[in-house]
Amino acid sequence: MPTPRVIRDRAIAAGAAAIAFALSGAFALGGAFALGAAPLLEESISPAQITIGESAELTIKSAGTDVEPPVLPAVAGLEFRVVERLHGIELIHGASLATTTTVVKVTPQLAGTFIIPEINPRAPPLTLRVSAANIAGGPAAGTPLGGAAASGIHMTQDDSAFIKLSVARREVYVGESIPLAIEVGMRGGVVTSLNGLPTLGGSDFTLNNLSRQPQRNERIIEGKPFVVLTWHSVLAPVKPGDFSLSVEAPLTIRVSTRPRQEAMLEDQLGDPFMQRIFGATVSKDIKAASPPLELTVLALPAEGRPPDFSGAVGRFKISSDISSAAAAAGDPLTLRMHVVGSGNFDRVDSNMLEHVDGWKTYPPTSSFKSSDSVGFQGDKTFEQPVIASKTGAQTLPALTFAYFDPATRRYEAARSPPITVMISTSPADSTPDAGLSADGTAAGRLDLHPDRAAPGASASSLTPLYLQGRFLAIPSLLTLLAAGAWFRSRHADASDGAPRSRVSSAALQRALVQLDAAARAGDGARFFNLARSTLQDSLAERWQMAPAEITAAEVEARLGNDGNEIRQLFTLADEASYAGRGAGAADLARWMPVVRRSALSGYSP
C-alpha cells in the first residue's frame, strides 16, 4: 500500500500534468494573439448603483497570465485602486485559456452619474450611479467625501481570516446613531466555525440592533476562497472625545502541525479537501480583530438648545392628524403625530399637547415602524387621547418637535399645522325641553323648594303644590300605573323570558365615554375601576340589589359560565387597585366591547 508521501507526490505530479496540458492549450490558442497585446475578454462593474460612502468593484478579465495591468481610466469624481489580481484557467470554445482578472475598487468623491470609458474597444462604456448619502449628517451631493469609510483588508497573521469595519463618518455627536457595516471573512478549509457575533472593543460606544442573519457571499482573495459574512448595525457614542474603534470576532481555525516547508507545499495544493487529507491539523480558537478606526465624538452644543429637546439627533420631519374632524362634546378623539426621518429614534420623544384651553389631554403613547433592518430610518407615531369640553369650532394648536441636525450643526424645529374640529352638543345633554323657562330657570330642572313663592306670584300659589286639588288624584293614578306595569312585566317574563334593562341611557353613555378615554390613555387602574362600577350599577338595578353586593361570587351564582368575563374583569380591577397592575392601551381597548356588551345587552338572573 503506498505511503501518504507517495500518494501526495502522485497528486502533485497529476496536478503538474494538468497544468502543463492547460498551458499547452493556452499556447495553442494564444498563437492568434500578438505578444504584449492582452485581449480583454470581459469587463463589468458591480453594483452599478451605490450611495456615497460606499464603493463598487470594476472587474477586468484579460487573456494570459504574464500581462501588464490594464491602464485605468481617469474620471473626475471617481478614485480607482487595484485591490486584487487573480490568475486562472477557463474553457473557451472547448480550449483551455489562461486568464488574469484584475479587481479595481471604485470610490466616488461626489454624487452623480459617471460614465467609465471602455477599456475593451468592443464593449460599451460602463455607467456608475452614485446617490447622496441617506444618513443623518452624511455628505450632500457635490460635497467631497472627506472622512471616507475604511478601505483595504487586514488579514490575521496566518491569513485565515479578516474583519473589516466601515462607518459612514469619522466625526459624530454624542447620542447620534451612525450606520456601520462589519465584514468577517473566513478562509475556506481553514476557519471551521464562527463562535459568536462580532463585538466592539471598549465601552465608549454601543452597538444597537445588530442583524442576527448576516449577508453571505463568497470571494476569491489573492487566489484563496473566502466566505464573507456582512452585518449591518447602528453605532452610538456615549461620551465626547477622540477614540479608536475596532471590532472582534471569535473563530476556530485549523492549524497545520507539519513543518512550515511541508505546510507551504500543502497550501499550494489549493483544494481544502486535499489539504485535509495530506495535512495533519489541530483546532485553535482565535480572536480576529479589525484595524482600528479613529473617531471624534463631539458634545451637543448648549447654545440654542430648545427647552423641549429630547436628545433626538438626525434629520426629521413631522405631520399630524386627528381620528375625526367632527365629534360631540365629551367624545374622546385621538391626535396623532408622525415623526419620519433618520437618526436615533430611541431618543425621539414628545409630550405633544398639555394644558390646552377647551380640551382635556392625556399622556401620549408611541410606536415605531422601521423602514430598514437596523432601525435607523422609520416612522415613530405618537397617539394622544383628547376630549373637547366646549362646542363649536375648536382648534388644536400646532405640534412642534425639536432635534439636532449634525449636517447643519444646529438645533432645528419641525412644525405641523393646527387642526380644527367641529364639536357638537352631546346627545346625552340634549333634551326637547332644553333652554330657559319664562321665569329664567332651566327648563326641566327640579325645584328644590316647591312651597316657596316665585317673585310676582299670587297669594293662591302659596298653597303647596301637592295639596292643590288638581294634584290630589295623582297618587291614586301612580298606584294604578305601577300595578299595571308590574302585571305586564310578570306577563312578559312568563311568556318569553326576555331580559329587561332600566339603566339610564345618558348615565351609561357618559360612563362608556370615560372608559374609552381611560383606555386610550392607557390608564389601567382608572379603566378597570370604572368598568367594575359601571357593571355593578347595571347588574344591581336588574337584580334589585345594592351595587356593593354585586361581587364575583354573586355573578358566578347568577350567571355561571356566562359571567366569566365579568368575574375576570372584577379580578383585574382588584389587581389594579391593590397590586398596581398596569395594562397597555391595546389590552384596555380589548376589554371595551366586553363592558359595553355586558352593560347594554343584559343578562337574565
Cα–Cα distance, 346 to 376 (Å, whole number): 10
Q: What integer pLDDT is reported at residue 318 of this predicted model? A: 95
Q: Given its phi and psi angles, is residue 449 left (phi above 0), alpha (psi -120 to 50 degrees) or beta?
A: beta
The answer to whether the peptide bond before residue 259 is cis (omega within 30 degrees of 0) is no
Q: Which residues pair with 208 in a beta bridge?
A: 234
Cα–Cα distance, 80 to 58 (Å, whole number): 9
Q: Which residues pair with 220 in a beta bridge?
A: 225
Cα–Cα distance, 590 to 563 (Å, whole number): 17
pTM reported for the whole predicted model:
0.47
- Give the position of cell 387642526: 419
Query: Is the Cβ–Cβ distance between 272 and 190 less than 8 Å?
Result: yes
Per DSSP, 444 falls in state: T
- Give the position of cell 347568577: 558
Cα–Cα distance, 555 to 549 (Å, whole number): 10
Q: What integer pLDDT is reported at residue 134 of this predicted model? A: 42
Q: What integer pLDDT is reported at residue 45 of this predicted model? A: 87
Q: What integer pLDDT is reported at residue 434 of this predicted model? A: 43
Cα–Cα distance, 366 to 17 (Å, whole number): 71
Regions of the chain where pLDDT drops below 70: 1-41, 91-94, 120-123, 132-152, 202, 212, 256-280, 427-505, 575-587, 600-605
DSSP secondary structure string, 173-219?
Answer: ETT--EEEEEEEEEETTTEEEE-S--EESSSSEEEES--SS-EEEEE
Q: What integer pLDDT is reported at residue 449 of this predicted model? A: 42
- Letter for the amino acid at 1? M
DSSP secondary structure string, 549-572?
Answer: G--HHHHHHHHGGGGHHHHHHHHH
| Strand intervals (E) in 52-190 | 56-63, 78-92, 95-108, 112-116, 126-131, 161-167, 171-173, 178-187
CB atoms within 10 A of CB 260: 8
Q: What integer pLDDT is reported at residue 239 of this predicted model? A: 87
